[in-house]
Amino acid sequence: TTDLLKVRNLKQYFPIKGGILGRKVNDVKAVDDISFEVKAGETLSIVGESGCGKSTTGRAILRLDEPTSGEVEFDGKDLLALSKKDMRKMRKNLQIIFQDPYASINPRQTVRQILSEAMNIQGVVPKDKQEDRIKELMDTVGLGPHQIDRFPHEFSGGQRQRIGIARALSVDPQMIICDESVSALDVSIQAQVLNLLKKLQKELDLTYLFISHDLGVVRHISDRVLVMYLGKIVEIADKKSLFDNPKHPYTKTLLSAIPVPDPTVKKEQIILKGDVPSPIDPPSGCRFHTRCPFATDKCKNEDPELRTNDDLMASGHRAACHYIEEIESGEMQPHE
Ligand code: SF4
Ligand code: MG
| Domain positions in the chain | 3-93+173-244
ipTM for this prediction: 0.96
Q: Give yes or no for residue 101 having a pLDDT over 90.
A: no
CATH architecture entry for 3-93+173-244? 3-Layer(aba) Sandwich (3.40)
Q: What is the CA(104)–ligand 2 centre distance, in A?
A: 15
Q: What is the CA(187)–ligand 1 centre distance, in A?
A: 34
Q: What is the CA(15)–ligand 2 centre distance, in A?
A: 19
Q: What is the CA(54)–ligand 2 centre distance, in A?
A: 6
pLDDT band for 121, please (50, 70, 90 cuts). Answer: confident
Q: What angle do CA 227, 231, 237 make, to 5 degrees?
A: 20
Closest residue CA from atom 5 of ligand 1: 321
pLDDT in the model for residue 20: 67
Quick check: 73 and 37 in contact, CB under 8 A?
A: no
Quick check: 49 and 213 in contact, CB under 8 A?
A: yes
Quick check: 249 and 304 in contact, CB under 8 A?
A: no
Query: Does ligand 1 have an atom closer than 6 angstroms to the CB of 294?
Result: yes
The sign of the dihedral angle between the CA atoms of 162, 168, 174, 178 is negative
Percent of the chain at pLDDT above 70? 94
Average pLDDT (295-309) is 96
Query: Does ligand 1 have an atom closer than 6 angstroms to the CB of 249?
Result: yes
> CA-to-CA distance for 35 and 284, rounded, in angstroms?
20
Q: CB burial class (10 A; 0-12, 13-18, 19+) of residue 132?
A: exposed
pLDDT in the model for residue 234: 98
